[in-house]
Amino acid sequence: MIPARGYEGARVAILGLGRSGLSAARSLEAGGAEPVCWDDNPEARARAEEYGFEIVDLAREGAFHGIACLVVSPGIPHLYPAPNRIVAAAQAAGVPVDNDIGLFFRSFAGAEWQDFDQPPRVIAVTGSNGKSTTSALIHHILTEAGRASQLAGNIGRGVLDIDAPADGGAVVLELSSYQTELARALTPDIAVFTNLSPDHLDRHGGPGGYFAAKRRLFAEGGPDRAIIGVDEPEGRFLAGQLSESAGDDRVIRISVTEKLTGPGWNVFARKGFLSEYRKGRQAGSIDLRPIKGLPGAHNHQNTCAAYAVCRSMGLAPRVIEDAMQTYPGLPHRSQIIAEAGGVTYVNDSKATNVDSALQALQAFDSVRWICGGLEKEGGLAALAPALDRVARAYVIGREAPQFALQLEGCETEICTTMAEAVRRAHADAQPGETVLLAPAAASFDQYDSFERRGEDFAACVARALGSGQ
């Protein structure tokens, strides 16, 4: 655990008692603070009481008298579309509002660091798509190379629940826009921006607010090195803001759409090959095509980011390549769950928006596509460039007919349930094809999470293969 610093003897309020909230309460207590906890859910309050934490209704009049800070869980809005009533009360009372990420960055360094030969380093990864895979891949490469590494944030452990870092150790954090937007301290040693596509726009008041939330990771703390995906205008803008000159190698630009050979430090992937260029000369190359755990251009972008991080930490290209060969992939993210009769079954339930589904489709040549769910803003028109790869779409979800109508030029079948979609796709699939779950939609019309949806897909595939249907 990382004890929270700076609040010794102070009363600190915690709003939201899920994983991050309880972790923050424990951390604050370990640092000598007095946590005061609240959640609108009675079951969550009961869990906190079992830990011995004080429960106080923060919505009551005068609740913030004597409170030094309010720590808010990521899912609770503090500005758009409207502030939570308790957050608004804290702001009206002049009480600072923070989150567990802010507590982590202000508390991470310890007195024991003065005896370390190499201070620990924090690598923070943000962006719309690929954060989890990039973070997990960095952690995997560092671990395979013999470096002490911990994975935390949106993936792995809560940031305050990690162990105190070892001499020369690394902490890899996946950070969402919800987390970067509110944290009062953001000081990573290396920061990664993968890409940007429309998501969570209501929470951030539009695309400008969404980008601004991501940008804070780079603007607030000034990382020693920034790895920036430059395939969108926002990434190019950010890289330009952070660079002092075209040859400034504190910024590493990455791309999967163009060859980057300028005077700076660049990493790009084209036609399945990763290339590293420094000062206009090639410094490394990896053939990504045999790496099963990282299929498609979207994963090649993740690979470029992870490669750039590990190179900036001093790892040799061959060491990175060897580690990538053993990367198993993440559940629900381009996860190969079965191969039978020449057909590959891939679970990409995490493809909850149109951009991530487009990337998933473009990773395969001939697809039996299972899609649908709770549609997000913007419609499905952006999927058009990949629909020629789809042999047939099997549409699930409560609004499957309306979803299917938007897939113009694509043969569709309304299945509604996952079981029926898998049964039909399995029966139709030919050798060389891929049965792909990439919903392009949220799961909440039928499942309580994308993980449950992916698990159901895997179970349905297992039943179909086991029955020989």
Where do the domains of the chain lie? 11-98, 103-325, 335-464
Q: Write out the CATH class of domain 335-464.
A: alpha beta
- Mean pLDDT for the stretch of residues 275-281: 95
Structure confidence by residue, pLDDT tens digits, 169-204: 999 999 999 999 999 999 999 999 999 987 777 888
Residue 369: predicted pLDDT:
98
Higher pLDDT, 166 or 467: 166
- Mean pLDDT for the stretch of residues 255-264: 93
Residue ranges for the binding site? 127-133
- Mean pLDDT for the stretch of residues 216-229: 94
Residues 6+ apart with CB under 8 A from 428: 368, 391, 392
- pLDDT bin (cut points 50, 70, 90) of residue 222 is confident
For residue 323, what are its two tokens? 């580690």
Q: Is the pLDDT of residue 263 over 80?
A: yes
| Segment among 141-150, 224-233, 324-333, 410-419 with least mean pLDDT | 324-333
- Pairing type for strands 273-278 and 281-287 reads antiparallel
Residue 205: predicted pLDDT:
87
Amino acid at 32: G
- pLDDT bin (cut points 50, 70, 90) of residue 468 is low
Neighbours of 66 (CB within 10 A): 11
Higher pLDDT, 375 or 227: 227
Amino acid at 320: I
Mean pLDDT for the chain overall: 94
Structure confidence by residue, pLDDT tens digits, 108-167: 988 888 889 999 999 999 999 889 999 999 999 999 999 999 999 988 789 999 999 989
Q: Is the pLDDT of residue 469 over 70?
A: no
Give the domain 11-98 fold.
Rossmann fold (3.40.50)
Give the domain 103-325 fold.
UDP-N-acetylmuramoyl-L-alanine:D-glutamate ligase (3.40.1190)
Place of tokens 């381009």: 334
Structure confidence by residue, pLDDT tens digits, 224-256: 999 999 999 999 999 999 999 989 999 999 999
Residue ranges for the binding site for ATP? 127-133
Structure confidence by residue, pLDDT tens digits, 57-88: 999 999 999 999 999 999 899 999 999 999 99
Q: How many helices (H) and strands (E) are present in the chain, helices listed first?
A: 15, 20
Structure confidence by residue, pLDDT tens digits, 334-359: 888 999 999 999 999 999 989 889 98
- pLDDT bin (cut points 50, 70, 90) of residue 467 is low
For residue 379, what are its two tokens? 């419609």
Q: What is the DSSP string of 335-389?
A: EEEEEETTEEEEE-TT--SHHHHHHHHTT-SSEEEEE-SB--TT-SGGGGGGGGG
Amino acid at 218: F
Domains 11-98 and 103-325 share a fold: no
